[in-house]
Amino acid sequence: MELNPENLKPREMYQWMVQTILPRPIAWVSTVNAAGATNLAPFSFFAGVCARPPTLMFGPANDRFGQPKDTLRNVKATGEFVVNLVSESLGELMNATSATLPYGESEFERFGIASTPSVVVRPPRVAASPVAFECRLDRIIRFGEGPIAGNAVFGTIVRMHVRDEILNAEGQVDVRSFAPLARLGGDLYASLGELIRLSRPE
Ligand SMILES: Cc1cc2nc3c(=O)[nH]c(=O)nc-3n(C[C@H](O)[C@H](O)[C@H](O)COP(=O)(O)O)c2cc1C
């Protein structure tokens, strides 16, 4: 099978991409608006970029009316965000926060999600997240126009938090304790299966 994106509707191409680019980690992004109201939403178009300077990115698409999502509005207004990572046990709460709430209404409050203050940036972190990255906005790159057109938000990591419970005796991350939840297509998610070790060639 061969697909030419030029012959597909954007929504169809989106479906092909989310069913094939996987498993995807989930950035559960907390932000505040100019008035200080908190917001929390998941994004699985998410990746690390580089370590020098420590940089990550996530991709909030425009909504179906072509408008920026609350997260993007807040990042533009404040220049700050926190990426909280999602363990299996947080999956249901994370999913709940993907609901569209009126701008300024907090998913932390609506869904009873405990937060904890960040050290450097104003948006709080999700208290129960195993890992969180406090970020300062580096740049936003816009792709396309209108509904579901994209935005890539790059942030510089200014603090990283790792829960002690997911560290092993050597101080390294124990992936079984972390139990990261992976995003697949549709309503599907996955947990870590069998671990495979491949040594890098010299
Ligand atoms: C697991 C998961 C991953 C998601 N990934 C993305 C994504 O990468 N980009 C995006 O625009 N929306 C994504 N969404 C949808 C947003 O979370 C949803 O539109 C949310 O309402 C945006 O919230 P906001 O308006 O408060 O920013 C995802 C939803 C879920 C449940």
Confirm whether 10 is domain-assigned.
yes
**Closest alpha carbon to 69 in 139, 91, 77, 171:** 77
- The best mutation among 15, 28, 43 to test binding of ligand 1, ranked by most ligand atoms within 8 Å of the C-beta, falls on 43
For residue 72, count other CB atoms closer than 10 A to its CB. Answer: 25
Mean pLDDT, each 10-residue run in order, the chain (202 residues): 96 96 98 97 98 98 95 98 98 97 96 98 98 98 94 98 97 98 97 97 94
168 Cα–ligand 1 center, Å: 32
Q: Please report the pLDDT score of residue 184 as a whole number.
A: 98
Are the C-beta atoms of 98 and 91 separated by less than 8 Å? no
Confirm whether 199 is domain-assigned.
no
Confirm whether 154 is domain-assigned.
yes
Tally of domains in the chain: 1
Confirm whether 197 is domain-assigned.
no
Place of tokens 């139990």: 179
Are the C-beta atoms of 152 and 199 separated by less than 8 Å? no
CA distance 81 to 118: 10
Torsion of Cα atoms, 153 then 182 then 110 then 56, to 10°: -20
Could you tell me how far CA 110 lies from the centroid of its own chain?
A: 19
Q: Is 183 in the pocket of ligand 1 (CB under 6 A)?
A: yes
CA distance 21 to 167: 29
Give the CATH number of the domain where residue 153 resides: 2.30.110.10
The number of the ligand 1 atom at minimal distance from the alpha carbon of 29 is 27
Confirm whether 200 is domain-assigned.
no
Range of the domain at 9: 5-190
Q: Please report the pLDDT score of residue 67 as a whole number.
A: 95
95 Cα–ligand 1 center, Å: 9
Q: Is 43 in the pocket of ligand 1 (CB under 6 A)?
A: yes
| SS3 of residue 18 by DSSP | helix
Q: Is 97 in the pocket of ligand 1 (CB under 6 A)?
A: no
Question: For residue 57, what is the enclosing H or E element?
Answer: strand 54-58
The number of the ligand 1 atom at minimal distance from the alpha carbon of 42 is 17
Confirm whether 196 is domain-assigned.
no
pTM more than 0.95 = yes
